[in-house]
Structure 1
Amino acid sequence: MPRLLPPEPERMNEHQQRVYQAIQSGPRGRVRGPLALWLHRPGLAEPAQALGQYCRYDSSLPPRLSELAILTMAALWRSEFEWWAHQPIALKAGVSSDIAEGIRTGGPIEFQHQDEQVVHAFVKTLVETRHVPEPQYQQAIEVLGRDQVVDLVGLAGYYTLISMTLNVFEVEPPDATGPTAFGAAG
């Protein structure tokens, strides 16, 4: 059971209802997970959902790379809900199941595309060391370009917020009844 449940739509104030409708009528098509929890504070939910919409749907990163970065963030944060929500999207966007499995387990990964290796290594280094060394930064600029590197950093920041929210409030996937993506039973 999560520590915090979303506010009930019929009990939301005008600001909460406006943000709820913006999320529901946008590309996500529904309100769940951290977005639903943030509705307790619509002043947080409104800009956060707009940033999330940009990171997922409007950034310069193609879906294959953004979803790869999201899976990397989910694994690094051990965010079960985020893994559950994005693993099928990542596969559909072109991330191979072998790469997804390597990210999930922390095992060896054989990347077929240099841009995927760069995205994964960049995000992993950034999260684990809180810094990206100059040679790695230059490689990312050469392979991805400035705009995609800027968007990648923004995506990592947004999915840190997502993962923190999910982990603090103990939001689990709807079907969390057995072993989870990262080992513990739900």
Structure 2
Amino acid sequence: MRLPLIPPAELSADQKPLYDDMRKGIASNFNDFKVENDDGALMGPWNPWLHEPRIGKAIWDLTMAMTAEATLPDNIRQIAILVVGARFDAAYEIYAHIAVAEREGMTQQRLATLVADVNPVDFSPEESIAYDFSFALARGGILPEPIYRLAVETFGQHGTNELIYLVGLYALVSTTLNGFNVPVPERE
């Protein structure tokens, strides 16, 4: 870990409101995995965001907007997030979203295949499109037209837009985690 965790008692005046907002949002949206240590210091991507509160707030606001405005089914969202996490080999991202996907009933076989950066064979047509779309976009370059058209036909324009933003957001989260070498807590 390249940035020390910030105990709540050591937060600056700029960090404290962001910390409070993140804890509130985390409690209602990101509670399937460990996000803070025993003294209340935030872990995962939230710690680096606290170190740069102006930038961190912008990223946090985007994260909350993507959560609040979600229209894609949860299984589609988790596939996209896990594809990006696997593509970036972002350990905390994979850890966190395996926990979310497990709560939502995703099988161990499917999870193992997704985090190995491989397309599971048991996907529905919609899940396959989400996988191919996320995989191609996270690889870099222009998203191939046939995949884009299939996504629009399947998820509508709004859902396709959401999928693009979701892949982008979790690429940013994964980059944050990898850049700051954010560790994975022990699973309970």
Partner of 2:121: 110
Pairs within 5 Å for 1:32-71: 32-71=43-82
Pairs within 5 Å for 1:95-134: 95-134=106-145
1: CA distance, partners of 2:3 / 2:152: 40
Query: What is the CA RMSD across the aligned residues, in angstroms?
Result: 1.8
User: After the TM superposition, which of the residue ranges 78-87 and 44-53 deviates more from structure 2?
Assistant: 44-53
CA contact (8 A) 1:34 1:166 kept: yes
CA contact (8 A) 1:6 1:36 kept: yes
Matched, 1:141 2:162: no
> How far 1:108 moved relative to its partner?
4.8
CA contact (8 A) 2:83 2:117 kept: no
Partner of 1:182: none
Q: Which runs of 5+ in 1 are unaligned?
A: 177-186
User: After the TM superposition, which of the residue ranges 40-49 and 88-97 deviates more from structure 2?
Assistant: 88-97
Identity %: 26
2: CA distance, partners of 1:115 / 1:108: 13
- SS of residue matched to 1:39: helix
2: CA distance, partners of 1:104 / 1:65: 15
The code of the aligned residue for 1:11 comes to: E
The code of the aligned residue for 2:79 comes to: L
Pairs within 5 Å for 1:70-81: 70-81=81-92
Q: TM-score, normalised by structure 2?
A: 0.85
Q: TM-score, normalised by structure 1?
A: 0.86
Q: Which runs of 5+ in 2 are unaligned?
A: 36-41
> How far 1:64 moved relative to its partner?
1.4
What's the CA shift string for 1:121-178, capped at 9, x where partnerless?
00100111322111111001001111111111111111111111111111111129xx
2: CA distance, partners of 1:68 / 1:107: 11
Partner of 2:172: 161
Q: 1:108 to 1:21 in 2, by over 3 A?
A: closer
Partner of 2:19: 20
